[in-house]
Amino acid sequence: MFPVWLDALSLAALLVGAACALIVSIDVIRHPQYMTVMNVVWPVTALFGTVAVVWAYFRYGRLASMAAHHAAHSRHETPLAKTETPFPVMVGKGALHCGSGCMLGDVAAEWLAFLVPAVAVWFGWQSLFSEKMFAVWILDFLFAFGLGIVFQYFAIVPMRDLSPGEGIIAALKADTASLVAWQVGMYGFMAFAQFYVFKHLFGHRTPVNTAEFWFAIQGAMIAGFLTSYPVNWWLVRSGIKERM
């Protein structure tokens, strides 16, 4: 369907992402994060952030390990994660926290709609939308939003000692704007890739069951990180979202 060089490039990018996620996964098993949900966030975001996420994890993520926190508390000191992590990095970690839910939600939604096409029909394909991709985006957003709120809930509640109801409200405040900003960047990139790059340069769009599709998703997730970063800056600076 696509040139051999594009197949090779796509597979190589996906393999690099998988290798980076494996490296981080092994390390978080050995050195669990103090904030439990970050044990999922780091490996998942390494799938698209690849070497940049691996570097950020070993440089700053390790500072937030459970062992590092316990060691600091035993010495009655402030954990290194709070004293040695620059604010821009804290914002980046907050954006990745949001992005992990988007990544998992996108994978689930895309494969579900591919394997069960009727799902896309339920969300407007052939009635509201002539393009199946737009209907899947609705499902993708719902999955990503649900996962994002769950991830945010388990990040905020332990840190603020909130009740379940208070935790849900706080999670909605902290993650809604960030997730919307991420999805805008992600959808924008995928629309450009599918309707211009693949269709005009190669003659057709790429389906879900190709390496090229997931290579494009890697780029879309990076675009989502960039569009959500300013929003996360504001959320963290204003105290709506926890510093990580």
Q: Residues 62-66: contacts with CB within 8 Å, 24+ apart? A: 62/27, 62/31, 64/33, 64/34, 64/35, 64/38, 64/244, 65/31, 65/32, 65/33, 65/34, 66/31, 66/32, 66/33, 66/34
Q: How many CB atoms lie within 10 A of CB 111?
A: 12
Site of tokens 């332990």: 158
Higher pLDDT, 196 or 16: 16
Q: How many CB atoms lie within 10 A of CB 84?
A: 12
| pLDDT computed for residue 50 by the predictor | 97
178-190 pLDDT tens trace:
999 999 999 999 9
| pLDDT computed for residue 44 by the predictor | 97
| Paired tokens of 157 | 């509640």
| pLDDT computed for residue 23 by the predictor | 98
Give the 3-state DSSP-derived string for 130-158, with helices as H, strands as E and coil as C. CCHHHHHHHHHHHHHHHHHHHHHHHHHHH
| pLDDT computed for residue 158 by the predictor | 72
| pLDDT computed for residue 226 by the predictor | 97
- How far is it, in rounded angstroms, from Cα 239 to Cα 110? 34
Three-state DSSP class for residue 65: strand
63-92 pLDDT tens trace:
999 998 888 888 888 888 888 899 999 999
34-69 pLDDT tens trace:
888 899 999 999 999 999 999 999 999 999 999 988
Three-state DSSP class for residue 28: helix
157-186 pLDDT tens trace:
777 777 778 778 877 887 888 999 999 999
- How far is it, in rounded angstroms, from Cα 207 to Cα 23? 29
| Paired tokens of 91 | 């914002």
% of the chain exceeding 70 in pLDDT: 100
CB-hemisphere CA count at 13 Å for 157? 17
Q: How far is CA 203 from the centre of its chain?
A: 30
Q: In this structure, what DSSP letter does residue 32 have?
A: -
Q: How far is CA 236 from the centre of its chain?
A: 17
